[in-house]
């Protein structure tokens, strides 16, 4: 329902302005007159949700404002005053979003309905949980639970990113060093052998070929690297299921543990918050971060809507998780069973991540050592042969 801003006066001539929610301008005028306000000017409010989100919002925005809102409500602050206080701490578009939400609340909309105007920030499950909290009078508790859930999701994501920083840094340093060696250092060394009539060892010939390629065709390699990046992005955009199916086969099953942790914690959180099981499955499918698994969850959702059990509908999921879900379904404590499964897979993911990182570091060092060893042997072998010829 649209929101209209109005300016007018009351029956005693007092000027007044504000916002009101109505089906149209005529409906807004009727509502205002019914409340004793005579409008002079009515215009439809243009909210930020119609013109923003061409870029990504900070990961911390939603968890932080959710926890702050919960704390203010717990302290006895009214909802509108709490939103206003939080908006005063924000800048730019985020400040505008919260002010718009406050205006919608002033117009008589509920918090759940107000945030539905911003689906790019507030997911469907978020507004659903807020609606349930408002209906039951437990909005403060629901917001606190939401904040904990969002922060746990952010923590998992940050953990992955932090763990990959060092290996990625080492990989870039290795590429830079090797490019420098083959482009500038090795050519000067191999020039020594060009004036000799001796037959160069195969390993030295290979080194010369590689060095020549780096020196003369570096631009072609740069174009190839750029093309690979563009192709990957195109593939990710149009054929994401191909990439995601490969990720599921990642060594040690590390990503599968991450996906199972996301699925379990999202399902547990939503079911414990009173969200219907079919809606919870749809939200969990969106949150899992893998198209292949998302399609499997949506297929399972169709079967569940026809009366099947979740544990028998999820095709391709680990037997351990399916057994935990089955036990929860039989005992009537599915949310609790999924919560235990989430802790299990999160611990398993941490273990596998640490093991993977510990293997990546020596692997990179070994790779660099082999390349340097290759260069050293390729340079020394012809020198030794030249020495033998001189002695003869």
- Which residues lie across from 16 on neighbouring strands? 8
Q: Quick: pLDDT tens for 146-188.
A: 888 888 878 877 877 787 787 788 778 878 887 787 777 777 7
Contact 278, 301 (CB under 8 A): yes
In degrees and rounded to multiples of 5, residue 5 shows phi and psi of -90, 140
Tell me the CATH architecture of domain 252-350.
Up-down Bundle (1.20)
In Å, what is the CA distance from 94 to each residue of 54, 83, 122, 154, 207?
A: 13, 12, 13, 19, 56
Instruction: Say what angle helices 254-272 and 139-180 make with each other, to 10 degrees.
Output: 170
Q: Quick: pLDDT tens for 67-113.
A: 999 999 999 999 989 998 988 888 777 787 888 888 888 878 889 88
61-144 fold: Receptor-associated Protein (1.20.81)
Other C-beta atoms closer than 10 Å to the C-beta of 201 total 16
pTM higher than 0.75, yes or no?
A: no
* The 15-21 sheet, strands edge to edge: 15-21, 3-10, 37-44
Fold equal for 61-144 and 252-350: yes
Residue ranges covered by each domain of the chain: 3-45, 61-144, 252-350
Q: How far apart are CA 301 and CA 295, in angstroms?
A: 10
The answer to whether residue 58 scores a pLDDT higher than 80 is: no
């Amino acid at each position: 329902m649209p929101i209209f801003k109005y300016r007018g006066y009351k029956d005693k001539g007092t000027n007044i302005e504000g916002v009101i929610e109505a089906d149209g301008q005529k409906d807004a005028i009727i509502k205002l007159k019914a409340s004793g306000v005579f409008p002079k000017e009515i215009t439809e409010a243009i909210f930020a949700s119609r013109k923003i989100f061409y870029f990504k919002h900070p990961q911390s925005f939603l968890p932080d404002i959710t926890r702050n809102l919960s704390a203010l409500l717990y302290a006895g602050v009214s909802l509108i005053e709490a939103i206003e206080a939080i908006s005063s701490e924000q800048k730019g578009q985020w400040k505008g979003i919260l002010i718009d939400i406050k205006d919608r609340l002033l117009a008589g909309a509920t918090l759940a309905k107000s945030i539905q105007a911003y689906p790019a920030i507030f997911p469907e499950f978020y507004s659903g949980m807020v609606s349930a909290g408002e209906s039951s009078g437990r909005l403060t508790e629901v917001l606190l639970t939401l904040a904990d859930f969002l922060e746990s999701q952010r923590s998992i994501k940050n953990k992955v990113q932090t763990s990959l920083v060092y290996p990625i840094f080492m990989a870039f340093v290795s590429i830079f060093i090797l490019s420098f060696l083959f482009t500038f250092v090795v050519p000067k060394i191999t020039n020594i052998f060009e004036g000799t009539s001796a037959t160069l060892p195969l390993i030295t010939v290979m080194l010369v070929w590689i060095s020549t390629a780096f020196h003369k065709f570096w631009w072609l390699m740069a174009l190839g690297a750029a093309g690979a990046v563009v192709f990957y992005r195109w593939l990710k955009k149009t054929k994401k299921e191909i990439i995601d199916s490969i990720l599921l086969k990642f060594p040690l099953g590390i990503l599968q543990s991450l996906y199972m942790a996301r699925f379990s914690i999202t399902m547990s959180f939503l079911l414990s918050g009173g969200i219907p099981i079919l809606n919870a499955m749809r939200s969990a499918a969106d949150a899992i971060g893998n198209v292949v698994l998302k399609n499997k969850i949506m297929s399972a959702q169709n079967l569940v809507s026809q009366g099947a059990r979740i544990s028998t509908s999820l095709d391709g999921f680990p037997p351990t998780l399916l057994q935990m879900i089955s036990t929860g379904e039989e005992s009537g404590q599915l949310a609790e069973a999924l919560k235990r499964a989430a802790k299990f897979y999160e611990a398993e993911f941490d273990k596998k991540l640490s093991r993977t990182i510990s293997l990546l570091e020596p692997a990179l060092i070994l790779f660099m050592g082999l390349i340097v060893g290759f260069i050293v042997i390729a340079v020394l072998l012809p020198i030794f042969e030249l020495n033998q010829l001189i002695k003869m």
